[in-house]
Structure 1
Amino acid sequence: MTAAFTPPADEPLTSKEGWSRWVQHDPRPPELHLDWPHLSPVEQAAYDDARLDYHSDLIVVNTPTIQEVVKTVRRLLILNRRQISARRGLIITGGAGTGKTTAITQLGRAHELSVALRNPVTGPRIPVVYVTVPPAATPRMLAVEFARFLGMPLASRSNITDVTNAVCAVLCDVGCDLVLVDEIHNLNLATRAGAEASDQLKYFSERIPATFVYSGINVERANLFTGTRGEQIASRFATIATRPFAYGTTVQRENWRALVATLEQALRLHRHKAGTLARHGEYLYQRSRGMIGSLSHLIRGAAIDAILDGTEKITKAHLDAIRLDHAAETVTPTPSPARHRRQRPGAA
C-alpha cells in the first residue's frame, strides 16, 4: 500500500518534472509519538499538521485490478521488444470513479522504478510518458501534449509534422518504452477530428518503440471500436474493465472488509481501535457505492476531523458528517449476485 502524491500546480503529472517527482515520492507514514499529550503547543501543532497532511493524500491499495494491469503490461513490454510495428497494447475501461487513472499511474510508477533498479544509467532517460487527451482533441493538440510532457519549446509557427518528428526523435533517444494515454474517451471516432486524432496516436505508436496503454470511461460507448479505425484498435488492444467492489456474496463481503481493514491500518490516530471500521462494513459500502476512491475519501475525512476535534478516533458521527461526491450520495448500490463474483474490483 502506498500513499499517492500530488505535484505542485506548475508541475502536473503530465510533465516530466511532475511525473518524476511523484514517482520518487517517499510514501512512508509519520510515526505516532507515544508522548504526544506532553508535547508543547508548537510541537503539537507541527505534529498534528504532519498527520493531517498524511491523511490528505489518497491512500492507494494494491487491488486485484492494479495487480492485473501491472502483470499484463509487463508481459506486453516483453512481447513488444522485437516488434517493428503492430505492437500490442492495453485499454483500461470502466465507469467514472472506478480507479482507471489510479491503475494507469501506478502501472507507470512501478515500471519506472523497475527500470531504474535494473538499468541504472547516468544519461537522460524517460522510460514513461503520461499524457491526457484534451476534449475535442485534434492531431496537433495531441502532439503538443506529448511535447509539453517533455518540456520541449514550441515555436508558434511549428506545424504538426515538426512537432511530431521532434517528439518521436526525443522519445527514441531517451529510451521511452511505455506511453500512458489517459482520458481516451475524449476521442470520438465518429467525428473527423476524433478520427484524425486516433490516426495521430497510431502514428506515434508506429514511430516510438513503446507499449501504449489507454484509459477512459466506458470506451465502448465512445465509438472507440467502431469503423475501420476502431476495428484496428480492437485487433491490437486487450481490455481490462474496472468496476466497483461487489457485496453480494460471502467472499465479496470478506474482500470488502479486508479492504476496509487495510485502509484502517493506514490511519495515524492515537485512540482509534483496530476493527472499528470493519464493523461498519455494510454502512461504508452503502455510503461509497463500493468505490474505493469514495471509501478512502470518507475514511480520511473522518480521520482529519478526529485529529481536529481531539477525539483521535473515528466514530459513526464522524463518518455521517462527511459529504461524498454527488453520485455516492444519490445512488444506492445493488449488491451483485453470485454470478458476478469473478468481476474485478476497482482501485482507488
Structure 2
Amino acid sequence: MKQAGAGLGLSVPAARDQVAGWDTWRRARHAFVPAPARTFGQWRAMTPLERSAFDLHRMATHANLPLLDTPMSQRVDRLLSARIRTNAFKAKPSTRAGVMISGGGYQGKTETTCEIVAAFEDSWRALHHQVHPDASPGTRDLWVPVAYVQTPVTAKPKSTCKAILNFYGAPTKNMDLPDLIRQVAASLTDHGTKVLVLDDITRLRMHRADDQDTLDLIRAFMSMNVTLVLIGVDIPASGLLREGRLDAASGQGVLPPSRHATAHGLEATQTERRFDLVELDRFRYDTDEQITAWTTHLTGVEQALRLMNAPPGMLTSGRMPEYLFARTNGVVGLLERLIEDGCTEAITSGAERLTENLLDALPLTLAGASRDAEAGEIPAVPAAPTRRPRAGRRRNTAFDDHGPAASDTA
C-alpha cells in the first residue's frame, strides 16, 4: 500500500503568478491520482497502517475534486479559446480583441480561465515542437506563451507593471513608469507571450484617479500583440466599462484609446480597444433544463467521492439536489467546500455517506486570506437551514364510519 501522497501527484501548491510556478502547475494540473474505490470489506481487510493511509488518500481526493464542465464554463471555453487562437495567428499589427470574464465570487472564474489558457499553451507548444518560434538568433529566450498575473489590491500603474514583470522575474528597481511600460512590452515580445491574464481586475475602484490610470494603462497592453484576458466580479457593475460603448453588430464592448498608447512607441492610429464580455454564472434552479444541469453536475461530483457507505444517487435523489442548491445558491465553489467538509466529517465519524442531517451541522465559512470582500470576491453564503421537528401527519377522517347518528329523542 502506498503511503498517502506518494505518487499521487500531490505537491506544494505552485505560485502561478510567477513563470516557474505557472509552468509547474500547468504540467502537473492533471497529475493527481484519486483514491481507488473500496468496499467496507476490503477496508477492514487492510492493516491499521494501510487503513490510515487509505483514509488520508480519500481525504486528499475530496480536497482535489476535478474541475467539471458546466454549461456556463463551456460557454466561456468556446468564446475564450476561439479568441485566443484567432489572435495568436494574427500577423497584422492591429490591436487584438480582449476578453472580460465576469461572475460572482467562488464561481470558478480563475480555475476555468487557467485551465483554458493552459490547454492553449499545451497545444501551442506542441504545434511548434516545444521550440520558441520567435527566439532571437543566438539567444535562448525563455518561452512563456501565457502570463498569469493577479491585480495588486491597491493597483497603480507602476505596481501593475511591476506585478507583470515579477511574473517574468524581470528587473524593476529604480524604473519610472515609461521605463516600466517599455520593459513590459519587451518582456511580452521577447518571451513570445500570446495571452496575458489579469485576475481580480475589479479590485480597481473607478472613483480613484490611480485606478483610472491603471485601467487606461491596461488598455495599452492590448496593442502589445497579446490577448488580454481580464477576470473580475460583476464587471458590468464595476465601472470598468463606463467609458465604453457596446457595438451592436459584434456584441463587443468598445473602449476609447489609451493615453499611454505612445509611451513605448505604439502606433497612434490604434484607437479602439475591444473586449468580448462573457458571464460565468452560477447554476439556477427554476426550469426543468436548469434543474437537469444542476443534477448532472451533482452526478459528476458524486462519481469523484470515495465514501464506502454511499448509496447510488446519494447527491441526486430525493430532496438532496434541492437541499444542496439551497445551501450553496448554485455556486460551484460553495458546493465544493460543503462537499469537502461533509466528506471529511463522514469519514471521521464513520458515517461514510452524506445526508442532510450531517451537512446541516457544517457551517460554510469563507475566511479566505487572499479574497477581497470589498471587490465582491466573497459571496453571500446562504444560512444553514433550521430543522424543526416534523409534526405527525394528521389522518384524513372524511370517510370514517362513525356508526348510526344519535337520535334527538334518545
What's the TM-score, normalizing by structure 1?
A: 0.85
Larger Rg: 2
Q: Secondary structure of the residue that 2:147 maps to in structure 1? A: strand
- d(CA) in 1 for partners of 2:12, 2:242: 39
User: Which residue of 2 is the match for residue 43 of structure 1?
Assistant: 50
Structure 2's unaligned 5+ residue stretches are 1-8, 133-141, 246-252, 257-271, 367-379, 386-410
Aligned pair partner of 1:143 in 161, 166, 170: 161
Higher helix proportion, which one?
1
Give the secondary-structure state (helix, strand or coil) at the position aligned to 1:79: helix
Match for 1:224 among 226, 240, 249? Answer: 240
The match for 2:94 is: 85
Residue by residue, what CA displacement relative to the aligned partner does 1:302-334 show, whole Å, maximum 9, x if unpaired?
A: 1122222233222333221221147223499xx
Q: Give 1:29's aligned residue.
A: 34
1:98 to 66, 87, 107: 107
Whose RCO is larger (CA < 8 A, sep 6+)?
A: 1
CA distance in 2, matches of 1:43, 1:7: 21
- 2:361 and 2:182 map into 1 onto residues whose CA distance is 53
Q: Which residue of 2 aligns with 1:254?
A: 292
Question: Are positions 1:126 and 2:135 aligned together?
Answer: no
- Are 1:108 and 2:108 matched, yes or no? no
Letter in 2 for 1:82: A
Q: Is the 8 A contact 1:91 1:237 kept in 2?
A: yes
Instruction: Give the gaps of 5 or more residues in structure 1.
Output: 333-348
1:152 maps to 2:161: no
Which residue does the alignment assign to 1:329?
382
SS of residue in 2 equivalent to 1:227: coil
Q: Is the 8 A contact 1:23 1:109 kept in 2?
A: yes
Distance 1:120 1:317, change over 3 A: farther
Q: Structure 1 pair 242/70, CA: closer, same or farther in 2 (3 Å)?
A: closer
Partner SS, residue 117 of structure 1 = helix
Q: Distance in 2 between matches of 1:45 and 1:240?
A: 45
CA distance in 2, matches of 1:117, 1:225: 36
Question: Post-superposition shift, 1:13?
Answer: 1.8
Change (3 A) 1:31 1:136: same
What is aligned with 1:117? 126
| 1:6, distance to aligned residue in structure 2 (A) | 9.4
| Map of 1:71 onto structure 2 | 78
The letter of the residue matching 1:179 is: L
- Whether 1:193 and 2:246 are equivalent positions in the alignment is no
Q: Is the 8 A contact 2:254 2:275 kept in 1?
A: no
Residue aligning to 1:340: none
Partner of 1:303: 343
2:45 and 2:384 map into 1 onto residues whose CA distance is 45
Q: What is the correspondence of 1:5-20 to structure 2 with a 5 Å cutoff? A: 8=12, 11-20=14-23
Kindly provide the CA deviation profile for residues 156-190 of structure 1, in whole angstroms up to 9, marking residues without a partner as x. x1223333323322221222111111111122344
Q: Contact 2:95 / 2:273 at 8 angstroms: preserved in 1?
A: no
**Using a 3 Å threshold, how does the CA distance of structure 1 residues 324 and 203 change in structure 2: closer, same or farther?**
same
Give me the whole-angstrom Cα distance separating, in 1, the residues matched to 2:205 and 2:11.
30
8 Å contact from structure 2 (residues 125, 131) kept in 1: no
1:199-218 superposed matches below 5 A = 199-207=216-224, 209-218=225-234
Question: More deviation in 65-74 or 320-329?
Answer: 320-329
Distance 1:6 1:96 in 2: 26
Counterpart of 2:18 in structure 1: which amino acid?
S
Contact kept, 8 Å, 2:17 with 2:149, in 1: the verdict is yes
1:109 deviates by 2.2
Q: Which residue of 2 aligns with 1:341?
A: none
**1-side partners of 2:97 and 2:384: how far apart?**
37
* One-letter amino acid of the structure 2 residue matched with residue 105 of structure 1: C
Q: Give the alignment's Cα RMSD to 1 decimal.
A: 2.5
User: What percent identity do the matched residue pairs reach?
Assistant: 28
TM-score normalised per structure 2: 0.73
Q: Is the 8 A contact 1:13 1:19 kept in 2?
A: yes
User: C-alpha deviations, 1:178-221, integer Å up to 9, x for none?
Assistant: 111111112234432122111221222212x2111111111222
Aligned with 1:212: secondary structure? strand
SS at match of 1:149: helix
Does the 8 Å CA contact 2:360/2:384 hold for their aligned counterparts? no
